Amino acid sequence: MDDTGSFTRSTRERILDAALNIFSSKGFHDTKLDEIVAEAHASKGSIYFHFPNKEKLFIALVDQFADVIERRAQDAIQGEAQGMRRVRAALEAVLETFAKYRRPAKLLLVQAVGLGTVFERKRMEVTDRFALLIKTYLDEAVAAGDIAPVNTHIVAHAWMGAIYSVVIQWVYTGEPSKDEIMDALLPLLLQSVGYSI
């Protein structure tokens, strides 16, 4: 390992990639750490070094996916003027990310359901994180005069519920298509705050 810790990072990344593959195909409960060890070409000790147990490994995957979604949303708004253009760009980026990363989305949105208090707390944390992001952009849109004042906290959570419901159906069934979701859901959300596209 060099001074930058690159060996440690690459081992951790291999473990996360392997965990994603195994969890996605077998589910959380049926996944054995030995399977992740074999897939990652790592030792059991290295897994325990990075992740004390299977639950922590699963939660790290959830955090990793949430980071990707947030980064893509923030990248999408760069260069957009404050206001509803940012809201729209962020929503599009979130939906595009779910479409591109369907397996981690399924892991986060489907397999984490019913896994207990720790996982539910993590899902709530992620939901709150994205609702806060949406609220921030909605607050900017109100300040810019793009939309009338609304309770942006409630609107952001309502939007998260709508996005979650549609994406869950898509992750399970593949329907409706990403384009159908964009064409129907995006205008619905924007019109709910009096903004027409």
pLDDT at residue 6 above 50?
Answer: no
pLDDT at 3: 39
pLDDT at residue 187 above 60?
Answer: yes
Number of H helices, E strands in the chain: 9, 0
Q: Mean pLDDT over all residues of the chain? A: 84
pLDDT-based confidence at 9, cuts 50/70/90? low
CA distances from 159 to 53, 71, 72, 124, 150 (A): 34, 19, 18, 14, 13
C-alpha to C-alpha distance for 29 and 135, rounded to whole angstroms: 35
What are the residue boundaries of the structural domains of the chain, listed by start? 1-52, 58-191
Asked if the domains 1-52 and 58-191 are classified in one and the same CATH topology, the answer is: no
Name the architecture of domain 1-52. Answer: Orthogonal Bundle (1.10)
Q: What percent of the chain has pLDDT over 70?
A: 91
First to last CA, the chain: 53
C-alpha to C-alpha distance for 61 and 55, rounded to whole angstroms: 10
CB neighbours (10 Å) of residue 12?
Answer: 19
pLDDT at 62: 84
- Spelled out in words, what is the top-level CATH class assigned to the domain 58-191? mainly alpha
pLDDT-based confidence at 1, cuts 50/70/90? very low
pLDDT tens per residue across span 60-91: 988 888 888 889 989 998 988 888 888 888 88
Comparing 125 with 5, the larger pLDDT belongs to: 125
Which tokens go with 152? Answer: 């942006």
pLDDT at 157: 95
Q: What percent of the chain has pLDDT over 90?
A: 29
pLDDT-based confidence at 150, cuts 50/70/90? very high
Indicate the SS3 state at residue 169: helix
Comparing 3 with 165, the larger pLDDT belongs to: 165
Task: Quickly list DSSP for 141-158.
Answer: HHHHTSS----HHHHHHH
pLDDT tens per residue across span 97-145: 887 887 777 776 766 666 778 888 888 888 898 899 889 989 999 999 9
